[in-house]
A and B are shown apart, each in its own frame.
Chain A
Amino acid sequence: MALVEIKDLAKVFYRDSQKIPVFDGVDLEMEQGEFLSLMGPSGSGKSTLLHLLAGLDKPTSGMISVGGANVTGMKRKELAAWRAQHIGFVFQFYNLLPVLTAFQNVELPLLLTKLSSRERREHVMTALGVVGLTDRSDHYPRQLSGGQEQRAGIARAIVSDPTIILADEPTGDLDAKSADEILVLLQQLNKEFNKTILMVTHDAHAAERAHAVMHLDKGVLSR
C-alpha cells in the first residue's frame, strides 16, 4: 500500500457567486521514501494540492490518505493533532518566528508533544545537526542568512520525525548557491533518512533533484 494515496481529488474555490475549479479527478500515489517534484504554472493548484495533503484545507470531493489515515475524513481538531505528528512543512519564505532563536523555532513542534525539556533539547540539537546549524542555535532569524533560515525551517520540519515532508517552493527565495545547498539537504534527508518528500517548485533544475517530476496544469496531474 502506498504511503500517500490521492483519489479523484477535486477542489473548487468560490469567489462571491463565481465558481473557480482548480482541479478535478486528480490521482496520486507516493511510496515511502519517494522524493517527488511538482511543477506547473502559477495558479495551477500546486500549493493547493500541498495544503490539502497537509490537511490545511478541505477538498471539494475525493479522498486523501497518508500513512493509512483518511485525512479528508478528519475534523479540524483531529487534523491539527495529526499534522503535528505526521507533516513537516517547509515554506518558501521560511516563516520562522522572529522573536525566537533558531533553537526555539525548531523546538516549536515538540512543544505539542509530551517530551521533557531535556528530550526536546536532544531532538532539536539532532535536527540542527542534520541541517548543519548547531553553531547557530542561539541566533535569531535576523542574524541568519536566507539559506541558514531555510535550513532552520527544514530542521523545524523534520524535528518531530514526520511521515512526509511537504516543501512549498523551498528554494524560491534563495540565490543559486543557497538553493543548491537546500536541495542537497533535501536529497540527503531522502537518501540517508528515507524521508518521503513532495516538493513544489517552479525551477526545473531543482525539480530534477527528485526521483520523479510531476506536472499540474489545467487541472490535470501528469508524471
Chain B
Amino acid sequence: MKFMRLIWVNLLRNKRRTILTVLSVAVALFLFTTLRSVVTALDAVSEVGSEARLITRSATGITFPLPQSYFERLRAQEGVQSVSWANWFGGIYVNESNFFAQLAIDHETYLAMYPEMAIPDDQRQAFLNERTAVLVGRGLMERFGWTLDQNVTLQGTIFPGDWEFTIRAVYVPDDPSFGDQLFFFHYDYLYEGVNGNIIPGWYVIQLDDPAAAPAAIDRIDRMFENSSSPTKTETEKAFNAGFVTMWGNIGFLVKAIGTAVFFAILLVAANTMMMAGRERIGENAVLKTLGFQDGLLFRLVLAESLLITLLGGALGVFGSKLMFGPGNPVNSFIQGFEVEWSTVILGLVIATLLGMISGIVPAWQAMRLPVIQALRRVA
C-alpha cells in the first residue's frame, strides 16, 4: 500500500491521457457487458418453453392468421389435451417508446395451459370474469408504476382506436426467462371491438405426452397441407428458439464485435503504457539507483496498467449493470434481459487481463532497464 501513492501520482502525471484511456476501456467494457447480456438473454429465451406445448402458426409467416375453424379440428386430434389461441395486439401505451408485448388470448384455455404464471386465485377469477380485464406481469407493473384495478388505455395500431382495460391480475413467472413484462387480455374484447373481423393469430396445443410431439406435429401440418392456410407446427421451445434466430446470428456478431473491441482497447491501453514507460526511463533508472529492485519496478508498472483498466472496466461494467438492472426498459424487447453479476465479474476479469497484457511489455522493459545507459540519458 505504501507504493500506492507513487502509482497514483504516475497515473495522474498526464491526466488527459489517463482519463481518455480509462474512458476508452469503460466504453469497451460497457459494450461488452451489455452485448453479452443480450446474448445470454436470447439464449435463455430460446431455452424457455414447454416440449409438451405446440405452436401452430401459418406456414406463410407469423403475421398471417389462421381460420377459427382450425380450433375444433386441432382439439379433435389424438393426444391433444387442450387448445388455445392468441393474437398480437401491438398497441401503444402513452408513446411508442413504452414498448411491451400485448396478447389477446382465449383467456380460459390459455391460462389453464400456463401454470408457470403464478396468479393469486382471487385475481385469476377477477381476470376471467371481466371482459376488459388484463393480466399483467409484475415487472411491467413496476415499470409503469401501475396498481391493481387501475385503468389503462392503449392506442391500437393494428386494431385502430383507444382500447381501455382494467388491471385485475398480476402474474409472477416461475422462470425469469418467461418474462414478467407481458400484458394479456380477453380475445373476446378484441373480437367485439373489431366487429368480428379477426381470426386467431396462432394456436397453442397442449399434448398429453411430450414424446408424442413429433408425430402430432407431422399429423397437424399434413392435415392443413392442402388448405387455404397451411400451417407450420413446432414445439413451443423450438418456436422460441426460431424466434431468436430471426434476429440473425447474434451470438457470433456479438463475439466478433467483442473481440474487435477488446483488441482495439488493448492497443489503446498498451500504447498509453508504452508512452508512460518511455517517458519514465530516466526516473526508473533513478529508482533503481536508489535500490528499487527489478521485480518491484515490474510490479509498479503492471499495477499502474491494471489500475487504468480496472478503473475503466469498473466504470463500464457497473454503468451497464446500473443501466440494465432488473426492470430495465430493454426487458420488454428481450425477455429476461438484465446484466447479471456473472457478466459483471467476467467484465472485470477481462479488464484485469487487459491491464496485464497491456502492461507486461512496459513492465518488462522497466525491469530490464540498463541503469547506466538510462542514467546517461538524463545526465
Show the binding face of A for B, using Cβ within 8 Å.
47, 51, 54, 56-57, 76-77, 80-85, 87, 89, 91-93, 95, 97, 99-100, 104, 108-109, 111-112, 117, 156, 168
Contact: B289 with A76, CB < 8 Å?
no
* B215 touches A (CB below 8 Å): no
**Closest-CB distance, A94 to chain B (whole angstroms):** 10
Chain B hits for A91, CB < 8 A: 286, 375, 378-379
Any A CB within 8 A of the CB of B322: no
Q: Does B253 contact A (CB under 8 A)?
A: no
Assess whether B2 is in contact with A99, with CB atoms less than 8 Å apart: no
How far is it, in angstroms, between the C-alpha of A156 and the C-alpha of B291 when the chains are bound?
12
Does B211 interact with chain A (Cβ within 8 Å)? no
Task: Give B266-314 interface residues, CB cut-off 8 Å to A.
Answer: 282-283, 286-296
> Quick check: is B371 within 8 A (CB to CB) of the other chain?
yes
Q: Which residues of B contact A77 (CB under 8 A)?
A: 293-295
Stretch of B8-16, B52-60, B167-175, B324-332 on the interface side: B8-16
Give complex CA distance A111, B291 in Å: 10
On chain A, the residues within 8 Å of B2 by CB distance are: 111, 117
Once the chains bind, are B379 and A93 in contact (CB under 8 Å)?
A: yes
B85-131 residues at the A interface, CB under 8 angstroms: none
User: In whole angstroms, how far apart are the Cα atoms of A92 and B286 in the complex?
Assistant: 12
Min CB–CB distance B353 → chain A (angstroms): 28
- Closest Cβ of chain B to A27, distance in Å, is 23
Q: Point out the residue from A82, A89, A99 that lies within 8 Å of B290, measured CB to CB.
A: A89
Nearest CB in chain A to that of B2: its residue:
A111
Distance of A24 Cα from B210 Cα, bound (Å): 94
Q: Are A95 and B282 in contact (CB under 8 A)?
A: yes
**Option from A83, A100, A112, A117 in Cβ contact (under 8 Å) with B289:** A83
Question: What 6 pairs across the A-B complex have the smallest Cβ distances?
Answer: A84-B291, A80-B293, A99-B9, A83-B291, A95-B286, A56-B371
Q: List 5 A-B contacts (CB under 8 A).
A: A51-B371, A80-B291, A85-B291, A93-B379, A111-B6
| Interchain CB contact (< 8 A) of B3 among A83, A89, A111, A117 | A111
CA distance A91 to B290 in the complex (A): 11
Assess the A92–B379 pair: CB atoms within 8 A: yes
Chain B residues within an 8 Å CB radius of A97: 283, 286
Residue picked from B6, B9, B287, B291, most chain A C-beta under 10 Å: B291
- Taking residues whose C-beta sits less than 8 angstroms from the other chain, chain B's interface range is 20 to 34
- How far is the CB of B301 from the nearest CB of chain A, in Å? 14
B197 to chain A, nearest CB (A): 76
For residue B372, CB closer than 8 A to chain A, the reply is yes
CB B370 to nearest CB in A, in angstroms, measures 9
| Cβ B5 vs Cβ A104 within 8 A | yes
| In-complex Cβ contact of A108 among B287, B372, B375, B379 (8 A) | B287
The reply to whether B288 and A80 contact each other, CB–CB distance below 8 Å, is yes
The one of A51, A95, A112, A156 that contacts B378, using a Cβ cutoff of 8 Å: A95
Contact of A80 among B9, B10, B292, B378 (CB under 8 A): B292
A51 to B271, CA, bound (A): 33
For A93, what are the chain B residues with a Cβ–Cβ distance below 8 Å?
378-379
C-alpha gap A46/B372 in the complex (Å): 13
Q: Which residues of A contact B5 (CB under 8 A)?
A: 104
Q: A95-B378, A97-B283, A100-B9 are in contact. Are A112 and B292 (CB under 8 A)?
A: yes
Which residues of chain B come closer than 8 Å to A85, judged between CB atoms? Answer: 291
User: Which residues of B are found within 8 Å of A109, using beta-carbon distances?
Assistant: 290-291
Residues of chain A within 8 A (CB-CB) of B9 are 99-100, 104
CB < 8 Å: which of A54, A57, A81 contacts B293?
Answer: A81
Q: Are the CB atoms of B286 and A51 closer together than 8 Å?
A: no
Residue of A nearest to B5 (CB): A104
Q: Which of B324-374 contact A (CB under 8 A)?
A: 371-372
Quote the shortest CB–CB distance from A209 to chain B (angstroms): 22
A112 — which chain B residues lie within 8 A by C-beta? 290-292, 296
Give a binary string over B1-35; 1 marks a CB under 8 Å from any A CB, 0 the rest.
01101100110110000000000000000000000
Closest Cβ of chain A: how far from B122's Cβ, in Å?
66
Q: How far is the CA of A16 from the CA of B270 in the complex (A)?
A: 32
A87–B289 alpha-carbon span in the complex (Å): 9
Of the candidates A54, A84, A99, the one whose C-beta lies within 8 Å of that of B10 is A99
Chain B residues whose CB sits within 8 angstroms of the CB of A81 once the complex forms: 291, 293
**Distance between Cα atoms of A92 and B282 in the complex (Å):** 13
Cα–Cα distance between A100 and B286 once the two chains are bound (Å): 14
Pick from B9, B287, B290, B293 the residue with the most CB of A within 10 Å.
Answer: B290
Closest B residue by C-beta to A97: B283
Residues of A close to B287: CB separation below 8 A: 108
Chain A residues, Cβ within 8 Å of B291: 80-85, 87, 109, 112
Residues of A within 8 A of B292 (CB): 80, 84, 112
Please state if A89 and B289 are interface contacts (CB–CB under 8 Å): yes
Kindly provide the distance from the CB of A52 to the nearest chain B CB, expressed in whole angstroms: 10
A51 touches B293 (CB 8 A): no
Contact (Cβ within 8 A) A80 B3: no
Return the chain B residue nearest A84 by Cβ: B291
